[in-house]
Structure 1
Amino acid sequence: MAKVLAVLSSGYSNEEHNYVTGWWAEELFEPLAELEKAGHSVGLASIDGGKPVVDPLSLDSAYDPEGKYKKLYDSGIADKTTPVVDVKASDYDAIMIVGGHGAMFDLAHDENLHAVINIVHETGGIVSAVCHGPAPLVFTKTKDGKPLLQGLKVTGYPNDMEPEEVDGLLPFSLEDEMAKVAQYDKGEGQDEHIVWGSDRLLTGRDPGSSQAFGRELAKKLSELEKHQLDKHLE
C-alpha cells in the first residue's frame, strides 16, 4: 500500500468582485476513489490546515449534475487537513496537488509546499498535479536551483478553457508560466489528457481528466510496489 499526500488550497476570496475559490471537488474525489480502489492510502494537507474552502462552483449542478461530489463533500471527507508546514514529506510515496483556482493563490508560491514537493521528488516519490494543481510545481526549484519542471513535458488548465468571469482576477496564466519552464501540451482535441513528464512526474489537464489521472497514478504506484517486492524476494 502506497501513501499519497493530497494537497488542497485553503481558499481565496475577493470581496470587491464577490469572488470565492478554493479546491475543485472532482479533482480530489475522482483520484481519491481510484487510489483507494487500488489499495493505496491518501492523507490530506492544506496551507492552513483544518477544513479548506471548496470552490462552490464545483458543487453546483452545472459541474456536479448528480450531486455525487456534494454528497462526498458533505460527508466530511475533506474536513480535516494537516497544515503543510507540519507534513513529514518522507512518509509519502507520492504527492498529488489538487486543482481549483485557489491553487494559484495560496499553493503556488508557498515555500513549505515547495520543500515538501522537493523531498518527495528527491526520495524517489511521484510528484503529480491536476488542472490548476501544477501552479506550485512551476515555481518549485530543486536544491541545485533549477526549475523542477525544466524541459519536461507537462499539461495543466489552458488559457482557452478559462471562464470569462475570472478574467483579470487570477494572479497569472498557468499555461503561460508552465510554457516558460517546460514543454506545455494541452492535448488538443482530446476529451481527457494526462502526461508523464518523467517516470516520477504526472500532470492532468482539467476536471474531466481527473479520473484518468487518478487511475494512472494508482497504477504506477502499484507497479512500483510490485517491483520493490520482487526485488526484496530475489
Structure 2
Amino acid sequence: MSKKILAILSEYGYWGIELVGPLAKLEEAGYTVEFMTPTGKKAEALPPSYDTTYVDPPLGVCVTTAGDAELVKAFEATNRLEERRNMAAEVPERPYFSKPNFLREFEHYFTDVKKAQDALTAEYAGLLLVGGSGPIIDMVNNQRVHDIILGFYQKNLPIAAICYGVAPLVFARDFNLRKPIIAGKHVTGHCIEYDYHDGTGFLHTDLNMGPPPYVLEYILADAVGPTGQYHGNFGKETSVIVDYPFITARSLQCAHEFGEQFVNVLDHGLTRYGW
C-alpha cells in the first residue's frame, strides 16, 4: 500500500494545528504527506491559529496552546508548503450547460476526471481535508474538490476531514445520483454552539463574513439523513468520529486525536470510533 497522503488546503487560510497535528501522527507512522491547493497558490496558517492570546468567541477561552503554537510556527518555518500540487491544473472543470458543443465537452469531462481520480488514488493511500475558515471560500463548493473526494470514495480509501474541511463531504455527490455520500453515516463537525456570531475572516481579503454562511451542524445532519447521525458532542473537549471511509473531527482541539485515529484507520483497519 502507498505510504503517501494527499492534504488539500485552502488558499485563504487554514487553521494551523488542524494540519500540523494529524501531519505529525501520520509522519510518525511512516507516511509522507503532500499538499494541494485549489489554484496552486501557497497555503498559509491563519494568524489566530498560532496566537496563544487569541480568545475563541463561542468558547470564551484561549484555544491555542503554547505547544501547538510552537508546532505550527515551526512547520511554517520549514517552507514545506512551497511544494504543492495545483488542483486546477490536474482536475478538469465541469463545463457549463450553455457552452457550445456541450455534450461532447461533458463526455470529455467525465473521461478526464476519471483519469485524474485514478492517478491520485493510485498515488495516495488517503485524503486529508484541512479546516479553518479558508475552506468556506475555495474548498466547500469547489467541484474539483468534490471530484477528488469522489475518487477516493469510489476506491474505498479513507477520507479524513476536520472542522470546515468536513463541509465538502456534504456536497461531494455523484453528478447523476445527486445523493450525499455521507448519507447513513455517522459524522461530526462544528456544532451550532461553536459557531461565530461575527468575525469569520480570511487571509488575502478584508472580508469579514460575520457568521459562517451556513450552520455546519444543520447541513451535516440533513446530509446523513434519518439512517445516519450527526454528533456534535457539545460539552466534550473533543469529537472525533470514524465511520469508514470517513474520519471526521469537530475542531482544532481534536487535531491530535484525529491524527491518531487516521493512522489507526490506515494501519490497523479501524472502521468505527466515537459512536
- TM-score, structure 1 normalization: 0.84
- Determine helix, strand or coil for the equivalent of 1:45: strand
The aligned counterpart of 2:273 is: none
Identify which range, 210-219 or 134-143, moves more after superposition: 134-143
- CA–CA distance in structure 1, aligned partners of residues 167 and 238 of structure 2: 19
For 1:27-106, list aligned pairs within 5 A.
27-62=18-53, 63-66=64-67, 67-85=70-88, 86=90, 88-90=119-121, 91-106=123-138
Provide the secondary structure at the position in 1 that maps to 2:161. Answer: strand
Choose from 167, 182, 188 the match for 2:234.
188
C-alpha separation in 1, matches of 2:188 and 2:81: 26
| Aligned-partner SS, 1:29 | helix
Q: Is the 8 A contact 2:197 2:211 kept in 1?
A: no
Moved over 4 A (4+): none
What is the aligned partner in structure 2 of residue 231 from structure 1?
none
Following superposition, the deviation at residue 116 of structure 1 comes to 0.7
Identity of aligned residues (%): 28
Q: Is the 8 A contact 1:103 1:132 kept in 2?
A: yes
Aligned residue among 177, 191, 198 for 1:158: 191
Uncovered stretches (5+) of structure 2, i.e. residues with no partner = 54-63, 92-118, 201-209, 270-275
Q: Write the mapping of 1:171-210 to structure 2, written as runs, cut at 5 A.
A: 171-182=213-224, 183-197=229-243, 199-210=244-255
Q: Larger radius of gyration, structure 1 or 2? A: 2
Aligned to 1:2: 3
d(CA) in 2 for partners of 1:94, 1:142: 19
Q: Deviations over 1:134-186 (max 9, x none)?
A: 11111111353211111211101122112333373422221121111122111
Give distance in 2, aligned partners of 1:192 and 1:200: 20
User: Structure 1: which amino acid aligns with 2:183?
Assistant: Q
Say if 1:130 and 1:166 are closer, same or farther in 2 by CA, change over 3 A.
same
- Residue pair 1:58, 1:64 contacting (<8 A) in 2 also: no
The verdict on how the C-alpha distance between 1:169 and 1:81 changes in structure 2, with shifts beyond 3 A counting, is farther
When the two structures are superposed, what TM-score results if normalisation uses the length of structure 2?
0.72
| 8 Å CA contact 2:170, 2:181 repeated in 1 | yes
| Structure 1 pair 221–41 and aligned structure 2 pair: CA distance change class (3 A) | same
SS of the residue aligned with 2:150?
Answer: helix
Q: Quote the residue 1:218 is aligned against.
A: 263
Measure, in 2, the Cα distance between the counterparts of 1:116 and 1:162: 27
SS in structure 1 of the partner of residue 256 of structure 2: helix
Q: After alignment, is 83-92 or 68-77 more displaced?
A: 83-92
